[in-house]
Amino acid sequence: MPTAMRWLPILSLTGLVCAVAFSDKWLVKFTDAAAKAGLPAVNISGSTTNKKYILEMNGSGLAFIDYNRDGYVDVFVVNGTRLEPSGEATRSTSHLYRNNRDGTFTDVTRDAGLDYSGWGQGACVGDFDNDGYDDLFVTYYGKNRFYHNNGNGTFTEIAEHAGVAGADGRWNSGCAFLDYDRDGKLDLFVANYVDLGLNFSNVPKPGSGEFCQYKGIPIACGPRGLPTAVNYLYHGNGDGTFTDVSEPSGIRKTEGHYALGVLTFDYDNDGWPDIYVACDSAASILYHNQHKGTFQDAGIASGLAYNEDGEAQAGMGVATLDYDHDGFLDVVKTNFSDDSPNVYHNNGDGTFSDQVFQAGLGRLRNLLGWGVIAADFDNDGWSDVLMVNGHLTPEIDSAKSDSSYRQPKLLYRNLRDGRFENVTSISGPALSTPHSSRGAATADLLNDGRLAILSNELHERPSLLIPEGPAANHWLGVQLIGAKSNRDGIGARVEIQSGALRQIDEVRSGGSYLSQSDLRLHFGLGAATRVDRMTVRWPSGAVDTLSAVPADRHIVIEEGTRSWRKPK
Partner 1 sequence: MHQVYQRRLTHSGSRFDHCEIGILRLRLLAGILFILILALPGRAQAPSAEEQQYLFSVLPLIERGDLTKAEDQIFAGLERYSRSAILYNALGIVYTRQNKLDKAATSFRRALEILPSFTAAQLQLAALDQRQGNKEEAVRLFRAAGDTTTNFEALVAAGLGLADCEDYAGAARVLEKAHEVKPDAESVTYNLALAQYKSGALTSALESLESITADRKPDVLYLRGKVLEGLGKPESISPIMAACGIQPGNDTFCADAAVNAIRQEKYLEAVAVLEPAIGKSSGSVALLSLLGLAQFRLGRYREAITSYTAALEKDPGVDASREGLGFLYYVTGNLEKARSIIEAGLKNPKADHYLAHLEAMVLYRASPRLRPQALDAVNRALQANAKFAPSYFLRGKIRMDQNDLSGALADFKRAVALDPKYPLPYYKMAQIYVRQGRAQEAAAARSTFSALGSRREEEILARQTQDILMPVSR
Closest CA to 190 of 148, 156, 159: 159
Q: How far is the CB of 366 from partner 1 (least distance, A)?
A: 7
Radius of gyration of the chain (CA): 21
Report the residue number, 98 or 257, with the smaller CB distance to partner 1.
257
Q: How far is the CB of 226 from partner 1 (least distance, A)?
A: 17
DSSP 278-326: EESSB--EEEEE-SSS-EEE-HHHHT-SS-TTS--B----EEEE-TT-S
Residue 215 in the binding site for partner 1 (CB under 8 A): yes
HEC readout, 419-448: CEEECHHHCCHHHHCCECEEEEEEECCCCC
Q: How far is the CB of 299 from partner 1 (least distance, A)?
A: 11
Q: Which of 86, 202, 358, 545 binds partner 1 (CB under 8 A)?
A: 358
Residue 43 in the binding site for partner 1 (CB under 8 A): no
- The whole-angstrom separation of Cα 185 and Cα 242 is 10
Cβ contact 33:466 at 8 Å: yes
Q: In 3-state terms, what secondary structure has residue 253? A: helix
Report the residue number, 195 or 308, with the smaller CB distance to partner 1.
308
Q: How far is the CB of 307 from partner 1 (least distance, A)?
A: 7
Q: Any idea what the Cα angle at residue 370 is, between residues 344 and 146, rounded to 5°?
A: 105
DSSP 121-150: EEEEEE-TT-SSS-EEEEEEESS-EEEEE-
- The whole-angstrom separation of Cα 72 and Cα 498 is 26
Q: How far is the CB of 46 from partner 1 (least distance, A)?
A: 24
Cβ contact 191:318 at 8 Å: no
Residue 357 in the binding site for partner 1 (CB under 8 A): yes
Q: How far is the CB of 371 from partner 1 (least distance, A)?
A: 21
- The whole-angstrom separation of Cα 229 and Cα 173 is 10
Report the residue number, 144 or 340, with the smaller CB distance to partner 1.
340
Q: How far is the CB of 384 from partner 1 (least distance, A)?
A: 19
Residue 434: cis peptide before it, omega within 30 degrees of 0: no
Report the residue number, 4 or 312, with the smaller CB distance to partner 1.
312
Q: How far is the CB of 338 from partner 1 (least distance, A)?
A: 6
Q: How far is the CB of 209 from partner 1 (least distance, A)?
A: 13
Q: Which of 307, 346, 383, 503 binds partner 1 (CB under 8 A)?
A: 307
- Give me the 388-407 binding string for partner 1, x by CB under 8 A, dash otherwise: -----------xxxxx----
- Give me the 335-354 binding string for partner 1, x by CB under 8 A, dash otherwise: --xxxx----------x---
**Which range, of 55-63, 297-305, 469-477, 554-562, touches partner 1 by CB under 8 A?**
297-305
Residue 247: count of CB within 10 angstroms of its CB: 11
Report the residue number, 189 or 412, with the smaller CB distance to partner 1.
412
Residue 365 in the binding site for partner 1 (CB under 8 A): yes
Burial 330-344 (b: 16+ CB within 10 A, else e): bbbbbbbbebbbbbb
Cβ contact 188:137 at 8 Å: yes
Q: How far is the CB of 127 from partner 1 (least distance, A)?
A: 39
Q: Are strands 187-192 and 172-178 parallel, antiparallel or unpaired?
A: antiparallel
Report the residue number, 131 or 402, with the smaller CB distance to partner 1.
402
Report the residue number, 200 or 357, with the smaller CB distance to partner 1.
357
Cβ contact 455:511 at 8 Å: no
Closest CA to 389 of 422, 341, 355: 341
Closest CA to 527 of 495, 505, 499: 499
Q: Which of 151, 310, 429, 550 binds partner 1 (CB under 8 A)?
A: 310
Report the residue number, 257 or 461, with the smaller CB distance to partner 1.
257
**Which range, of 74-82, 227-235, 266-274, 361-369, touches partner 1 by CB under 8 A?**
361-369
**Which range, of 303-311, 324-332, 478-486, 555-563, touches partner 1 by CB under 8 A?**
303-311
Q: Which of 85, 87, 216, 470 binds partner 1 (CB under 8 A)?
A: 216
Indicate the burial class of 269 (C-beta count within 10 angstroms; 0-12, 13-18, 19 or more): buried
**Which range, of 238-246, 265-273, 302-310, 487-495, touches partner 1 by CB under 8 A?**
302-310
- The whole-angstrom separation of Cα 390 and Cα 72 is 30
Report the residue number, 31 or 401, with the smaller CB distance to partner 1.
401
Q: What is the DSSP letter of 553?
A: E
- The whole-angstrom separation of Cα 352 and Cα 344 is 6
Residues near partner 1 (CB under 8 A), total = 31
Residue 285 in the binding site for partner 1 (CB under 8 A): no
Cβ contact 73:518 at 8 Å: yes
- Give me the 235-274 binding string for partner 1, x by CB under 8 A, dash otherwise: ----------------------------------------
**Which range, of 86-94, 151-159, 175-183, 298-306, touches partner 1 by CB under 8 A?**
298-306
Residue 362 in the binding site for partner 1 (CB under 8 A): yes
Q: Which of 16, 42, 301, 543 binds partner 1 (CB under 8 A)?
A: 301
Residues making contact with partner 1 (CB under 8 A): 215-216, 283, 300-301, 303, 306-313, 337-340, 351, 357-358, 362-366, 399-403
